[in-house]
């Protein structure tokens, strides 16, 4: 056997032995020292690497561009969303949890008073209500519905046929014309009153609006999820989640929204660029112990699954085999053997 072949075989034997050693370390069941040391060294040295050294802004924005603006969910995920939506609906209509167990009085009042502080927004809405043509159109439709639903005794008169000639038909036609004219005037006045009243409510003093909101909350908060969500069908829930996704797909294509998202990413990067990775972890409430817990929560099961499928050896060898297959390594081994033997 030539020295070159001997060097190759020796390298192969070393690779197999290193694979065996690494796998044994990875698969240790109790307090895996390999994982413990890896996490410890990773966390210990993370204070030496700044965010701007670890990742570039352009790369971060490219990731956001791909996954936020371009990625589309496949049919399987959309179907999964539908299944989950139905499960949520099923849980809700069988739950006796009250609304105030999800949103406390304190939280409701915090949100309520914060909204009431937006006086400028309320005045803006009020002004738009008074001058927006679409609002006037909707209020007229609402007034028409109110008038028709509250004057059923006039339906017969509205629908009478006046195509026949004669004094009676002319009188009836005149009455209908007057009725329509009066109803139109009433609709216009009612529509104006509705808009005016809504505007008045919007500009009520904060104390009065708070009293109204709290009164409504007293009724709503005692209702159970079962009582509330029984008003909806499972398909409504499914349609809602799908609609949210489809709306996001459309919104994310707008140049303005993309610019906002990318600007937020840039702001995050600028703010944290000089933070080291350890500080970043701590800023979101994570320390070394948390990393150990999460590593032990997932890695052992993943490694065991890979081993059971006969994949772990191949993964380890794929990482270390280039070194042992290198001609430079063979030459080093050959030279080392010649010097020693």
Looking at residue 176, its pLDDT comes to 55
d(CA 33, CA 48): 23
In whole angstroms, what is the distance from residue 341 CA to residue 332 CA?
14
Rounded mean pLDDT of 191-200? Answer: 87
pLDDT tier for residue 57 given thresholds of 50, 70 and 90: very high
Helix ranges (H only) for the chain are 3-26, 33-45, 51-54, 57-64, 75-93, 99-102, 105-116, 119-131, 133-150, 155-159, 167-202, 206-220, 225-229, 234-251, 255-272, 277-283, 288-308, 312-325, 327-340
Q: What percent of the chain has pLDDT over 90?
A: 43
Band (pLDDT 50/70/90 cuts) for residue 178 is low
Neighbours of 88 (CB within 10 A): 15
Q: Judge residue 263's burial from the number of C-beta atoms within 10 Å of its C-beta, 0-12 exposed, 13-18 middle, 19 or more buried.
A: exposed
pLDDT at 159: 56
pLDDT bucket at 333, cuts 50 / 70 / 90 = confident
pLDDT, position 299: 87
Distance from CA of residue 130 to its chain's centroid?
35
Q: Check whether 171 has a pLDDT greater than 80.
A: no
> How many whole angstroms separate alpha carbon 324 and alpha carbon 19?
12
Q: What confidence score (pLDDT) does residue 138 get?
A: 85
Q: What is the pLDDT of residues 66-91, one digit of tens each?
A: 999 999 988 899 899 889 999 999 99
pLDDT value of position 260: 95
Percent of the chain with pLDDT over 70: 89
Q: Higher model confidence: residue 160 or residue 21?
A: 21
The alpha carbon of 177 is separated from its chain's Cα centroid by a whole number of angstroms, namely 56
Per residue in 105-160, pLDDT (tens digit) is 999 999 999 999 998 988 898 888 888 888 888 888 888 888 777 766 555 555 55
Average pLDDT of the chain to the nearest whole number:
86
The predicted structure's pLDDT at residue 179: 64
């Amino acid at each position: 056997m030539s020295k070159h072949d001997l060097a190759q075989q020796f390298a192969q034997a070393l690779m197999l032995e290193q694979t065996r050693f690494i796998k044994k370390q990875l698969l240790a069941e109790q307090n895996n020292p390999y994982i413990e040391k890896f996490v410890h060294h990773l966390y210990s040295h993370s204070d030496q690497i700044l965010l701007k050294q670890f990742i570039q802004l352009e790369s971060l924005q490219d990731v956001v561009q791909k996954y936020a603006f371009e990625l589309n969910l496949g049919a399987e995920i959309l179907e999964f969303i539908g299944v989950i939506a139905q499960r949520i609906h099923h849980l809700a209509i069988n739950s006796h949890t009250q609304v105030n167990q999800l949103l406390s009085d304190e939280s409701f009042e915090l949100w309520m008073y914060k909204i009431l502080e937006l006086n400028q927004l309320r005045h803006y809405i009020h002004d738009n209500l008074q001058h927006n043509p679409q609002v006037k159109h909707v209020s007229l439709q609402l007034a028409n519905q109110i008038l028709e639903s509250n004057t059923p005794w006039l339906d017969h008169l509205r629908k009478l046929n006046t195509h026949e000639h004669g004094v009676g038909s002319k009188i009836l036609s005149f009455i209908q014309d007057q009725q329509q004219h009066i109803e139109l005037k009433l609709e216009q006045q009612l529509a104006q009153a509705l808009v005016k009243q809504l505007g008045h409510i919007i500009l009520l003093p904060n104390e009065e609006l708070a009293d109204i909101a709290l009164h409504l909350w007293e009724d709503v908060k005692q209702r159970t999820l079962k009582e509330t969500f029984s008003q909806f069908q499972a398909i409504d829930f499914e349609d809602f989640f799908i609609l949210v996704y489809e709306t996001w797909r459309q919104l994310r294509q707008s140049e303005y929204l993309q610019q906002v998202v990318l600007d937020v990413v840039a702001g995050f990067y600028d703010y944290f660029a000089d933070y080291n990775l350890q500080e970043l972890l701590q800023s979101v409430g994570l320390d070394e112990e948390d990393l150990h817990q999460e590593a032990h929560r997932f890695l052992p099961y993943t490694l065991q699954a890979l081993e059971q499928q006969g994949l772990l050896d191949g993964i380890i060898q794929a990482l270390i085999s280039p070194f042992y297959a290198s001609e430079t390594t063979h030459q080093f081994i050959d030279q080392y053997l010649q010097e020693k033997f």
